[in-house]
Structure 1
Amino acid sequence: MASVLIAFSILFLVYFALQHKRKKGTPFSGPPPAPIIGNLLQLPPTKVWERLFEWGRTYGPIYQFRLFSTPLLVLNTWEAGREMLDGKSALYGNRPLPKIIEMSGFDKGVVLEHDPTRLRQARKLLHSVLQPRPLAQYREILEHHVDVLLHNIMHEPEGYVDHIRHLTAGIAMEISHGHRVTSRDDPFVHRANIFADNFAEASLPNNHIVDWLPFLARFPSWLPGMGFKEKARRFKEQYFSLADEGHRMVKDDIDNGVARPSLTYKALVEGKPGEVPDDVIAFAATQVYTGGADTASLPFQKLISYVQTVSTLSSFILFMVKNPDVQKKAQEEIDRIIGSNRLASFSDRDSLPYTESIINEVLRLRPPVSVVTREAGEDDIHNGYLVEKETVILVNFWGMLRAEEHYPDPHTFNPERWIGRERSDPTHPLNIAFGFGRRSCPGQHLAEELVFTTVARMLALFDIAPIKDEHGNPFIPSDDSTNGGITFPVPFRCSIEPRSDRARWILEGLEHE
């Protein structure tokens, strides 16, 4: 028996040595791993991006660590992101696909699609409505929903986060299916929220044993411990039903001559028959508006950008509470350039550089997505270093946007740093926070327009200030943020009041319209 074990051990060691000999290149350096578990115990339970940033100071802009047998490669600078994800987008284009996600059908759509043909078709559909030129036809819709937000905030300022979520969901549903959301109880938004909860649960690390032991998916459902199979079946049924119902709604509207412009309408009516399969259209459109639902709990995944917009606008309100001088300076700019006879629109962006600089600094200091994941499709030698196939790539946006060499005093909110700085500057937050390569956020143009319009109109009409305690002293909220793939300021209260009688009159007029 002992001789058999010795022989087996020798064969294993020879095989292991041969495998590594075939792979030319030196592994990237990184924190020394412990046996079996790797660097698991060195990672904090929350805000892992901060630890990744600290390690980068020791091990450089690209380094490697391990969780059990899985290698993870960290990109801590924008230069590294451009070099690997833009320069080798075909190799590093896919996201890791947990087994429970695959079983639930959540790999259908643009977010986690691995089939290159279907991904290309889905992204083309998104670009058909989300690029600057086609977006122009939705500008009136966007401004309508922003005005609804302003009206809702005037009447219920303490619910500003819910109002922002309603704003993004309404715009998303119109763009995806031409459906106007007029109530918080809208059935499509309700079902999108169910999908978001299901997706969040399926995406949680360490939540399903089948993600670590994929072969369990082949076992029959009646065995003990196979409850994940029934859960995946329910998740898939709900998601597919959601996509199918929205798709059929637009088809019925087309047949009845009442369809409004949307991604689905454009694909069905203006595209060549059969050019894009119906299910690709249905899932791409569904992920547009499920991305606008209340998906605050989604871990690490990056949907179309509407949830990021909720995060960015919430952070904007926080920074205005904490920086009244910045708010006053932006209001003076808007009053001087726009006046009081109209509200700013996206076409005023170049005329309001200080307002724009506030948005840039919010996005830099509080990127809504701190880290995203990619996966190496094949072995790669990068600058002489080995990146093994299936290595998980961690793109640390939080760290990239706090590099002191590009952003002096990086932890301080300072919009002035962007005055006179060109939009083409590679260190500009808009060139980093929306990602790199073929998985960069396709909704960036819409997000930029929506955030600018909302911020400029809020500043024109409202004063955003701290609430006061029983002694009349201002209560300044915390800088802390939530944990997770999309981060938000921790819940805080503030005062949001019309700036003047005229501002109140304008807001009342929005209600009438």
Structure 2
Amino acid sequence: MGDLVDYSILFLILVTSIFLLRSLLSITGRTRRLPPSPLRLPIIGHLHLFGPIPHQTFHKLSTIYGPLIHIYIGSVPCVIASSAEVAKELLKTNELTFSSRPQYAAAHYLTYGSSDVGLAPYGPYWKFMKKLFMSELLGRRTLEQLQHVRHEELHRFLQTWLVKSNGKGLVDVHVDLKRLVNNVITRMTMSRRCSESGNEAEEITELVEDATELTRKFNLSDYFWFCKNLDLQGFRKRVEEAHAKYDRMIEKIIKEREEDRKSKKDETHGDGSGHEAKDILHILLGIAEDDGAEIRLTRESIKASILDIFQAGTETTANTIEWALAELINNQQIFEKAREEIDKVVGKSRLVEESDIPNLPYLQGIVKETLRLHPAGPIILRESSEDCTIGDYYIPAKTRLFVNVWAIGRDPKHWENPLEFNPDRFIGSGQSKLDVRGQHFHFIPFGSGRRRCPGTTLALQVVQTTLAAIIQCFELKIGDGTNMKIDMTEAAGISLSRAYPLNCVPVSRQHLIPLL
């Protein structure tokens, strides 16, 4: 009888425990509810839903499941944000939680263990590097000292188009723009032109292109835990080869610069700084020699920083100018209005300069409208460092965040006729005060908060001045010139580039030829 009582008590305890556990799980489920999610398949997660253009795929999912979605890419948990309101909560209200970026194998290795400002984990080292970029490398003083570089390279670019114009030659706009931007960056970084064959700068730009391509490819080891130590796609070997080549080339350039700095010190018995305009490598080496620096800048940090400037600045800048020109060709009335503004403000006796841009609001509107429809970085990528709550939803630590800048810029809730290219929306209206620096969350082409792109000012200078000079100096003809339209299809991949080359004939405006 006693055994029966004992078993009855145990059974009662077991049943009570089950009910209590179910109640606790139910409460936890209500307080820790993940965002809506599509059907997930074993092993691959939601990869079966992905198309060739991720930001378009994310946008389609958001129209079905809402502005905050939870998905798995392989075994990696992710959330997708597709509205300004959710983006603000993630990037401002919970900014510290989302101040780091995920570590992808290829990018981590190429950047010397994430020693660059782009990928370094949030912390003292990253804060030092961000301050260094904002105040020294890409700060106002450095950009002003190197303004002549941008002016000279733009002049050479225009001269090249003038020659082709006289011969009625067809130009591949993207190729020419990328060469221009590469020359600007290599000269600002190491005082060498990449388009002069046979020098290290040319080889470095080619290596950076290869490295950038590798970092943008889908690597199984980044998303499937059981593939972490495997190299099924052969990426590891290619990344190691690219890294070794880059390291060899940049090391040679650094050693040459160090010898040059030493010889100048010996000649002047000083610090060798002189009064000449310093390029970015010169500044980096000077900071590395500073024993009183907050954090000692290592050789790896220098190499990673130079790589970061190349990767972040070249393709994105060229793409933005190309998209703007394509939109202008398709909207000739906007092209004419921009030219009228430039002729009125600048005149016809000199070439437009960087100092003219603040007086060209319509041109600025064209660039803003281009960045709204064709943001250089269509997706902002972050990772949560701790658990947090967004609205009614729970986001666990180590969840990757994708903020769909492309979709936010086309949201009809914030933009009237969102698919129309209309620079006037930024002139004389509520949108006129919008800037690109991340304060308005329905317009964040360069990101927002602490991890906003540190190269925003340089990018705008190059994009706006180059676009203004092309508008001022050339008509752009395609085909037979009879109402042909440019195809605006986007290319596959994570960078927002054009699917088809923009080929046109630049026709010079005759009265401006002496300026070139």
Q: Does 1:383 pair with 2:386? A: no
Within 5 A, what are the aligned runs for 1:18-167? 24-44=31-51, 46-104=52-110, 105=112, 107-114=114-121, 116-127=123-134, 128-156=136-164, 158-167=171-180
Q: CA deviation at 1:467?
A: 2.2
- Cα pair distance change 1:122/1:240, threshold 3 Å: farther
Task: Provide the residue aligned with 1:456 in structure 2.
Answer: 468
Q: CA deviation at 1:155?
A: 2.2
Distance (whole Å) between structure 1 residues aligned to residue 357 and residue 315 of structure 2: 22
Structure 2 counterpart of 1:200, from 213, 217, 232: 213
Distance (whole Å) between structure 1 residues aligned to residue 441 and residue 320 of structure 2: 12
CA contact (8 A) 2:182 2:205 kept: no
- Cα pair distance change 1:243/1:110, threshold 3 Å: farther
Q: CA deviation at 1:72?
A: 1.5
Q: Secondary structure at the match of 2:146?
A: helix
Task: Provide the residue aligned with 1:396 in structure 2.
Answer: 404
- Cα pair distance change 1:210/1:410, threshold 3 Å: closer
- Cα pair distance change 1:232/1:499, threshold 3 Å: closer
For 2:427, the aligned partner's letter is I
For 1:137, the aligned partner's letter is Q
Q: CA deviation at 1:281?
A: 4.3
Structure 2 counterpart of 1:349, from 357, 374, 380: 357
Q: Secondary structure at the match of 2:188?
A: helix
For 1:58, the aligned partner's letter is I
Distance (whole Å) between structure 1 residues aligned to residue 442 and residue 260 of structure 2: 37
Q: TM-score, normalised by structure 2?
A: 0.82
CA contact (8 A) 1:434 1:440 kept: yes
Distance (whole Å) between structure 1 residues aligned to residue 173 and residue 211 of structure 2: 25
For 2:291, the aligned partner's letter is P
Distance (whole Å) between structure 1 residues aligned to residue 96 and residue 300 of structure 2: 21
Task: Provide the residue aligned with 2:184 in structure 1.
Answer: 171
Q: Secondary structure at the match of 1:467?
A: coil
- Cα pair distance change 1:174/1:274, threshold 3 Å: farther
Distance (whole Å) between structure 1 residues aligned to residue 200 and residue 218 of structure 2: 30
Structure 2 counterpart of 1:264, from 267, 281, 284: 281
RMSD of Structure 2 on Structure 1 (CA): 3.1
Q: CA deviation at 1:339?
A: 0.8
Within 5 A, what are the aligned runs for 1:175-324? 175-181=188-194, 183=196, 186-206=199-219, 208-209=220-221, 212-213=224-225, 217=229, 230-257=237-264, 260-269=277-286, 272-273=290-291, 275=293, 276-279=296-299, 281-291=301-311, 303=312, 305-324=313-332
CA contact (8 A) 1:126 1:263 kept: no
Of 457-466 and 96-105, deviating more is 96-105
Q: CA deviation at 1:407?
A: 1.3
- Cα pair distance change 1:227/1:42, threshold 3 Å: closer
Task: Provide the residue aligned with 2:413 in structure 1.
Answer: 405
Q: CA deviation at 1:112?
A: 2.0
Larger Cα Rg: Structure 1 or Structure 2? Answer: 2
Q: Secondary structure at the match of 1:54?
A: helix
Q: Which runs of 5+ in 2 are unaligned?
A: 1-20, 165-169, 265-271
Structure 2 counterpart of 1:496, from 487, 503, 506: 506
CA contact (8 A) 2:351 2:469 kept: yes
How many percent of aligned residue pairs carry the same amino acid?
22
Distance (whole Å) between structure 1 residues aligned to residue 30 and residue 199 of structure 2: 55
Task: Provide the residue aligned with 2:447 in structure 1.
Answer: 435
Q: Which runs of 5+ in 1 are unaligned?
A: 1-13, 292-302, 508-513
Distance (whole Å) between structure 1 residues aligned to residue 240 and residue 409 of structure 2: 40
Q: Does 1:482 pair with 2:494? A: no
Q: TM-score, normalised by structure 1?
A: 0.82
How big is each residue's C-alpha offset from its partner over 1:331-381, in whole Å with a ceiling of 9 and x where there is no partner?
A: 111111211111222222232111221111111111122123211122222
Task: Provide the residue aligned with 2:433 in structure 1.
Answer: 423
How big is each residue's C-alpha offset from its partner over 1:271-317, in whole Å with a ceiling of 9 and x where there is no partner?
A: 733623232541244225532xxxxxxxxxxx2x3321100111122
For 1:161, the aligned partner's letter is H
Distance (whole Å) between structure 2 residues aligned to residue 458 and residue 227 of structure 1: 43
Of 53-62 and 447-456, deviating more is 53-62
Of 30-39 and 367-376, deviating more is 30-39
For 1:82, the aligned partner's letter is K
Q: Secondary structure at the match of 2:433?
A: coil
Distance (whole Å) between structure 1 residues aligned to residue 67 and residue 60 of structure 2: 11
- Cα pair distance change 1:175/1:80, threshold 3 Å: farther
Q: CA deviation at 1:158?
A: 0.8
Q: CA deviation at 1:159?
A: 3.5
Distance (whole Å) between structure 1 residues aligned to residue 375 and residue 115 of structure 2: 27
Of 238-247 and 441-450, deviating more is 238-247
Structure 1 counterpart of 2:458, from 429, 446, 450: 446
Task: Provide the residue aligned with 1:296 in structure 2.
Answer: none
